[in-house]
Amino acid sequence: MKNALVIDLEAEKQEILKRYRALLRACKPTMQRGDKKEIRKAFDMALESHKNMRRKSGEPYIYHPIAVAQIAAEEIGLGTTSIVCALLHDVVEDTDITLEDIEREFGKKTARIIDGLTKISGVFDYNSSLQAENFRKMLLTLADDVRVILIKLADRLHNMRTMDFMPRQKQLKIASETIYLYAPLAHRLGLYAIKSELEDLSMKYLEPDTYKYIATQLNEKKAERSMFIKRFVEPINEILAEQGLVADVYGRPKSIHSIWNKMKSKNIPFEEVYDLFAIRIILDSPPEREKADCWKAYSIVTDLYRPNPDRLRDWVSSPKGNGYESLHTTVMGPKGQWVEIQIRTQRMNEIAEKGFAAHWKYKESSNDNGLDQWIMKVREMLSNPEANALDFLDDFKMNLFSDEIFIFTPKGALIQLPQGATALDFAFEIHTDIGAKCIGAKVNHKLVPLSYKLQNGDQVEIITSGKQAPKEDWLNIVMTAKAKSKIKSSLKEEKRKIAETGKEILERKLKSLKITYSTDNLNKLSYFFKLPSTQDLFIAVANGKIELKDLREYLSSEKEVDNKVVHERPERTEYQQIENLLSRVKTAESDTLLIGEDMQKIDYTLAACCNPIPGDDVFGFVTVNEGIKIHRTNCPNAAQLMANYGYRVVKAKWNSQRELTFLTGLHIVGIDDVGLINNITKVISNDFKVNMRSITVDTDNGIFDGSIMIYVNDTDHLDRLIENLMKVKGVTGVTRFDA
């Protein structure tokens, strides 16, 4: 037996070397003299420090750092420094090696990147999320070095690829974080291949059934699609060759996640999603001919197939903020279906696939500074020191996701803003002072309010006034992080001034009532007036909301209460509530909350945002005032809750002992026919004995569109009901919706 183990270790040793050699091959394109030695040194250090560690799957831990380095080299195209950092990215966190050791061996730069990659340990405010703080720390380093984020993305991608051995709860949390933060980040850095894979892998864990269904459907029609693509591409290839254009033309399948998004946004079944693939034309053109060749290829394609005039996207003339350049159009194929075509050059394609790592390669020749601008924006956001990590995250995410619009100043300078930005955002983008004093704007010479949503190509002139100052409701008008943080800090400053005044008034009033002005008494006063902090207390005094008579009231109530009782701060009490609820769930026989029985007398309610019913995959979320809320794992808010407040999530499952009914909604569409409503209600009431709460029906030119709120027992019950409704003559679609 002992011998078998030795052989086993020997085989592992061989496998580690094999993987290391594959990594070296992947690094070859960027290697300089002496690089191999550095990589070897990092590999040896990682191998030695992780030698007794194993992953959840039982594999040697070293497989992970090698894989992360491989992704960094092969799929992102990073160089030696990054490979060294990828190999060592976990040693400071998981082993005895310190940052000082790394700096001594590999220099300051490497140590700084690894510091950015090491999760922050230590205690945080319980309201903030550890992940949010980690993310913020990572971004702080990004402002210095983009490689931190690129390696972090490689690390996350490998973790997502190897998540099968994790417990379900952990899978849900990591997948939620990925879809909420890391996929949009990859998108923003132009790493489209990685972004699509991260989205697909998240979906595999968050929506396993839908994922399997779409994957199976795609597989079944694979041969048919290949045939169609072959026929579609042949004539294009011929004419490109005649015209002397060297090009690679191929079909590329759309990701499962993007197909699913289309099914959701258009509310259509898989069979009706027409663009399951896109045709790519990659041209081999010298820099000076790139634009002309792209348009030449465009005219060849549109001579062969009729284009949809509304679907031309030209990112060759003005690239996206993340450097993406391409021409997109949709044409009518030979079988009467729309086909998406993407035209770009090899340089543009490399930037689209590998994002900004490829950009550096072309930096000398390219004058595009989209990423530099974006990193400057990130720096601006980070420079607001007081930002709460979670607010920061949400602002940051909002600016990550959005597509850009281009706005012109009165003098014709071009400003890039996220889609949905308002005139007030534009004012803050130009300068904080202009934003703070803005009272209106002229868009294309017409007067508009601050909340006006800008359109691509608008020319904007800002009107200011010395009397204007930022207001609280401005936060609902702006959407860029820069404007939000400037308005918040301006309001904070204003609040601070008012609080100062209030503090002086309160001191005088307390003195006259012979109450000592102390922290303890201020906390008691805040608690008495139900205010979250002493600053709010000072502001209430300054605004005249708390007067001498109120303070006298407090004094008499204090005398009644035994003075020895120390009032807890309200935030502390909230924290205790959360902790108590969590520990009550966790100390039960299992750490899973059973829904539908009074086993632990734990207060839970079903979340209104997604109306879960038995059979749905669910989790519990501990709230401050409403006990535990049960959400569906695919609830619109789930990713955000799990990514930001992972520690408040508890496992939950349905207990099927009792026949309970739950409210859910069905959306029914069909061809309006005499007696259709009658037939539908017959199936619901008679065949299924289901109670209806409400029904709203709309018919428009022969199309029936109805929403029905019904009470069902569980998902099986609901599925059977949907199946039977689909059999009703005239009904073409039945879908469940979240009330």
User: Which CATH class, in words, describes the domain spanning 2-212?
Assistant: mainly alpha
For residue 248, what pLDDT band results from cuts at 50, 70 and 90?
very high
Annotation marks residue 93 as catalytic: yes
| Cβ–Cβ < 8 Å for 427, 462 | yes
Min mean pLDDT across 13-22, 346-355, 597-606 is at: 597-606
Quick: pLDDT tens for 552-588: 887 776 665 444 444 444 455 556 666 777 766 665 5
Min mean pLDDT across 117-131, 149-163, 235-249, 462-476 is at: 117-131
Residue 159 has pLDDT above 90, yes or no: yes
Residue 536 has pLDDT above 50, yes or no: yes
For residue 402, what pLDDT band results from cuts at 50, 70 and 90?
low
Q: What's the alpha-carbon Rg for the chain, to the nearest Å?
A: 30
For residue 590, what pLDDT band results from cuts at 50, 70 and 90?
low
Q: What are the E-state strand segments in 167-256?
A: 247-253
For residue 189, what pLDDT band results from cuts at 50, 70 and 90?
confident
Residue 12 has pLDDT above 80, yes or no: yes
Note the pLDDT of residue 702: 79
How many C-beta atoms lie closer than 10 Å to residue 261's C-beta?
15
Min mean pLDDT across 132-146, 274-288, 517-531 is at: 132-146
Helix H segments across 629-693? 638-644, 676-682
Of 443, 424, 408, which Cα lies nearest the Cα of 484?
Answer: 424
* pTM for the structure as a whole: 0.68
Report how far residue 148's alpha carbon sits from residue 118's, in angstroms, rounded to the nearest whole number.
Answer: 10
Note the pLDDT of residue 135: 67
Report the range out of 123-127, 180-184, 232-236 with the highest average pLDDT.
232-236
How many C-beta atoms lie closer than 10 Å to residue 523's C-beta?
18
Residues of the chain with pLDDT > 90, as a percent, come to 27
Report how far residue 503's alpha carbon sits from residue 490's, in angstroms, rounded to the nearest whole number.
Answer: 20
Note the pLDDT of residue 410: 84
Tokens of 565: 């009782």
- Considering only residues 159 and 133, tell me which one the structure prediction assigns the higher pLDDT: 159
For residue 375, what pLDDT band results from cuts at 50, 70 and 90?
low
Tokens of 369: 């500074």
How many C-beta atoms lie closer than 10 Å to residue 616's C-beta?
22
Mean pLDDT of 402-409: 76
Mean pLDDT of 103-113: 91
Note the pLDDT of residue 575: 61
Note the pLDDT of residue 66: 96
Min mean pLDDT across 187-191, 212-216, 325-329 is at: 187-191
What is the SS3 assignment for 21? helix
How far from the centroid of its chain's Cα atoms is residue 730's Cα?
Answer: 40
For residue 364, what pLDDT band results from cuts at 50, 70 and 90?
very low
Report how far residue 731's alpha carbon sits from residue 433's, in angstroms, rounded to the nearest whole number.
Answer: 59
For domain 215-362, give the fold.
Answer: Beta Polymerase; domain 2 (3.30.460)
Quick: pLDDT tens for 458-490: 889 999 988 888 988 899 899 888 888 889 888
Average pLDDT, the chain: 82
The architecture CATH gives domain 662-737 = 2-Layer Sandwich (3.30)
Quick: pLDDT tens for 22-71: 999 998 888 888 889 999 999 999 999 998 888 888 889 999 999 999 99
Report how far residue 352's alpha carbon sits from residue 196's, in angstroms, rounded to the nearest whole number.
Answer: 12
Residue 718 has pLDDT above 50, yes or no: yes
- Considering only residues 376 and 563, tell me which one the structure prediction assigns the higher pLDDT: 376
Residues of the chain with pLDDT > 70, as a percent, come to 82
Tokens of 216: 């199976």
**Whether CATH 2.30.40.10 fits 370-482:** no
DSSP 8-state code for residue 62: T
Note the pLDDT of residue 5: 47
For residue 105, what pLDDT band results from cuts at 50, 70 and 90?
very high
Mean pLDDT of 15-23: 94
Residue 6 has pLDDT above 60, yes or no: no
Report how far residue 478's alpha carbon sits from residue 461's, in angstroms, rounded to the nearest whole number.
Answer: 17
Out of 10, 44, 93, 433, the active site residue is 93
Note the pLDDT of residue 241: 92
| Cβ–Cβ < 8 Å for 529, 502 | no
For residue 651, what pLDDT band results from cuts at 50, 70 and 90?
confident
What is the SS3 assignment for 467? coil
Q: Which sequence spans correspond to the domains of the chain?
A: 2-212, 215-362, 370-482, 489-553, 571-654, 662-737
| Cβ–Cβ < 8 Å for 661, 691 | yes
Note the pLDDT of residue 390: 62
Q: Find the helix or strand (DSSP H, E) in which 594 lies.
A: strand 592-595
For residue 387, what pLDDT band results from cuts at 50, 70 and 90?
low
Note the pLDDT of residue 643: 79
Q: Specify which residues 387 forms β-bridges with.
A: none
How far from the centroid of its chain's Cα atoms is residue 490's Cα?
Answer: 28
- Strands 277-283 and 247-253 turn out to be antiparallel
Min mean pLDDT across 116-120, 131-135, 688-692, 693-697 is at: 131-135
Note the pLDDT of residue 618: 87
For residue 391, what pLDDT band results from cuts at 50, 70 and 90?
low
Annotation marks residue 591 as catalytic: no
Biggest CA pair distance of the chain: 97
Note the pLDDT of residue 368: 46
Report how far residue 296's alpha carbon sits from residue 688's, in angstroms, rounded to the nearest whole number.
Answer: 62
